[in-house]
Amino acid sequence: MSLRQFTASILLVTMAGCTTVRPVSSPRDFLNSRTPGRIWVTAEQPSEYEIDSPKVLADTVFGFDAKGESITLPIATIKQLRASQIHKGRTAAVVLVVLVGGAAAISAFQGLKGDSEPEITEDARPRFQLLRFHW
């Protein structure tokens, strides 16, 4: 596994751990303040829609289904709207695991690479010949 693949897999796991699909309390405010790539909508009719690239214009949600066909739904007919959002608890857990894992890795590798101070085998002080005068 190359370093690029390893980094991509770590980022994928991290992003999956930091987000979750949850219901939104106010669909209009959520869609006006954020631009999610995909939402899941339960409408008044017993049907569920998966909408890509959703936008709100006036009182209607516009977007595309999986086939690329356009979907329009009046906001008044939406019973529930779910979207991917940041999960604070999981994000904190991922950050904690990364920090602890990094500290453990540094601690483990420090012993393999040697100590930070070189081992001195001889007296490293300069040697001077002392002149002795004999009278």
Q: Name the token pair of 2.
A: 């190359």
The DSSP code for 44 is S
pTM above 0.75, yes or no: no
For residues 20 and 84, the answer to whether their CB atoms sit within 8 Å is: yes
* Cross-strand pairs, 83: 22, 39
Let me know if residue 7 belongs to a domain: no
Judge whether 41 lies within some domain.
yes
pLDDT of the residue at 44: 79
Examine residue 130 and state whether it is found in any structural domain, yes or no. Answer: no
Give me the residues paired with residue 52 across strands: 38, 64
What are the beta bridge partners of residue 39?
Answer: 51, 83
- The yes-or-no verdict on residue 15 having pLDDT over 70 is no
Instruction: Tell me the average pLDDT of the chain.
Output: 79
- Winning range, highest mean pLDDT, from 10-14, 49-53, 110-114: 49-53
Range of the domain at 56: 21-86
**50 lies in a domain?**
yes
Residue 112 belongs to some domain of the structure = no
Q: Tell me: the pLDDT tens digits for 62-100?
A: 999 889 999 888 888 888 899 887 778 877 887 888 888
Report the CATH number at residue 53. 2.30.30.100
Instruction: Report the distance separating Cα 13 and Cα 87, nearest Å.
Output: 14
* Number of domains composing the chain: 1
Q: Which amino acid is at 36?
A: P
Roughly what angle, to the nearest 10 degrees, separates helices 88-113 and 3-18? 150
Residue 108, domain member (yes or no): no
